Structure 1
Amino acid sequence: MARTRPGDAGAKVLKAASALFYRDGIHAVGVDTVAAEAGVTKAALYGNFRSKSGLVVAYLRERDRRWQEEIDRITAAHPDPRERVLAVFDAYEAWLARDGYRGCAFLNATSEYPDPGDPVREVVRHHKTALHGYLRAQLLRREPERAEALADELMLLLEGAAVTSVIAQSSQPFDTAKRLARTLTA
C-alpha cells in the first residue's frame, strides 16, 4: 500500500465510507473494508474519526453539506419562492436518480440507528429540519399564515416520494408529488 500523505487520509476515508455506506448499508460495512477501500490503515481511519460512529456522523454531515450546495444551485435559478419550492422536488429526484434509487441516506441511517439520542440521529434531524426550514422560508414570502402547515405537507410529499421511488425504482413518484405540491402552493 502506498503511503498516504498526512491530511489525505481523512478525505480518502470519507470518500470510501460515503460510497460503501450508501451502497451497502452502514452496519454491513466494517472499518476494515473502509480502510482497505480508501487505501489507508485502520490507525489512519481512527486517527481522523476516532470511531465508526464518528465516521458515520462525518459521512452524513458531508452528505448534508453537498445536498445544501445542490439545493442552493438548483433553486438559485428561480427568483419566485413557489418555483424554488417546486425546484426542491426536482433536486430530490435528480439526487436519488443519480444515486441509483437507494433511498435517502438520512432515512436509511435512521433505520440503522433506532436510538433517538444517537449522534447519527441528531445529524438526520438537523438535515430534515434544515430542509423544512428552507421550504418554510420560501413559503413565508408567499403565504405567511399557511407557511408552517404547507412546509409540513410538502415534507411528507418529498419523503413519501423518496421512499416510493426506491420501491418503484422510478422517478414517477416525484412527478406525482410535484403535481400535488403545485396544487398545494397554488
Structure 2
Amino acid sequence: MDSAAARDRVLDAAEELFYSRGVQSVGMDELRGASGVSLKRLYQLFPAKEQLVAAYLARRDERWRGRLAEHVARRRDPRERIPAVFDWLEGWFGEDGFRGCAWINAYGELGATSTLVAEQVRAHKEAFRDYLASLVADAGLPAALTGPLFLLAEGAMVTAGITGTARPAAEAREAARALVAAARPVGPGRPRTA
C-alpha cells in the first residue's frame, strides 16, 4: 500500500473514531486496527497523535465547507443564500451520527494543550466566518451583519450537539432572516462598514 492510500485509510479511521467517541478516548493501537495500517507505518505518517488530529480536522474542513458552499450556491437570490446556510446546518444536525461540531469538540478536548489543534480549529472558524462575510457582501448587506450571523450558526452547532436535535438550526435561521430583513442594503457610494 502506498503512502497516500495508507494516509487515507488512517484518516478515514481517525475521522470515524475521533468524531464518534472523542480524540482522547481513542488510542493509536485502536486506529491501527481500524485502519489496517501497521503501527510502525501509522507513526511514520503521523509521528504524534496531535498531527493526526490536525490532519483529520483539515481534511474534514475542506469537505465540510465544500458541501456547505455547494448547497448554498443552489440559491439564485443572494439574500436567500444566507438562510440557506442554516438549511444546510439543519440537514447536517439531523444526520445519523451527528455529534456536534468536530472543531469545537476537538478544541474542548485539546485546545488548551495543543497549539497545532487550536490553530486548525481557529483556521476553520475563520474560514467559515469569511464565507459568511462573502455571502453578506454578495447580498449587498452591511458587513456588520457577519458577526451576528456567525454567532447564530456557531450557537446552533453547539446547541444541536448538546440537545441532539436539529431544531436550533431552524431557530437560528428565523433569527438570521429577521436580521437580513432589518438590515439596510449597502447602496452605491455607501461604504460597507465592519
Does TM-score exceed 0.5, indicating one fold? yes
Structure 1 unpaired stretches of 5+: none
1:94 offset after TM fit, Å?
A: 1.9
Task: Summarize the alignment of residues 76-95 of structure 1 with structure 2, pairs less than 5 Å apart.
Answer: 76-95=73-92
Q: Does 1:32 align with 2:29?
A: yes
Superposed displacement of residue 97, structure 1: 2.3
Moved over 6 A (4+): none
Work out whether residues 107 and 121 of structure 2, in 8 Å CA contact, stay in contact via their aligned partners in 1: yes
Q: CA deviation at 1:117?
A: 6.6
- Match of residue 111, structure 1, among 97, 104, 108: 108
1:66 corresponds to which residue? 63
Superposed, 1:87-166 pairs within 5 Å as 87-115=84-112, 118-144=115-141, 146-147=142-143, 149-166=144-161
How far apart, CA to CA, are the structure 2 residues paired with 1:107 and 1:117?
14
Cα contact 1:84–1:138 (8 A) shared by 2: yes
Q: Is 2:12 aligned against 1:15?
A: yes
Q: Distance in 1 between matches of 2:96 and 2:112?
A: 26
Alignment counterpart, residue 170 of structure 1, candidates 165, 172, 191: 165
- Residue pair 2:90, 2:167 contacting (<8 A) in 1 also: no
2:174 equivalent among 168, 174, 179 = 179
Residue 99 and residue 65 in structure 1: after superposition, are their counterparts in 2 closer, same or farther (change >3 A)?
A: farther
Quote how far apart the aligned CAs of 1:116 are. 7.7
Give, in whole Å, the separation in 2 of the partners of 1:165 and 1:117.
26
Is the contact between residue 93 and residue 165 of structure 2 (CA under 8 Å) also seen in structure 1? no
Give the TM-score taking structure 1 as reference length. 0.90
What residue number does 1:6 align with? Answer: 2
Which amino acid in 1 is paired with 2:163? Answer: A
Task: Quote the Cα distance in structure 1 between the aligned partners of 2:62 and 2:76.
Answer: 22
Unmatched tracts of structure 2, length 5 or more: 182-194
Higher relative contact order (CA 8 A, sep 6+): 2
Q: After superposing the two structures, state which structure 1 stretch, 134-143 or 101-110, moved more.
A: 134-143
Give the alignment's Cα RMSD to 1 decimal: 1.6
Partner SS for 2:94: helix
Mean Cα deviation higher: 96-105 or 169-178: 96-105
In the superposition, the TM-score normalised over structure 2's length comes to: 0.87
Whether the 8 Å CA contact 2:20–2:97 is kept in 1: the answer is: no
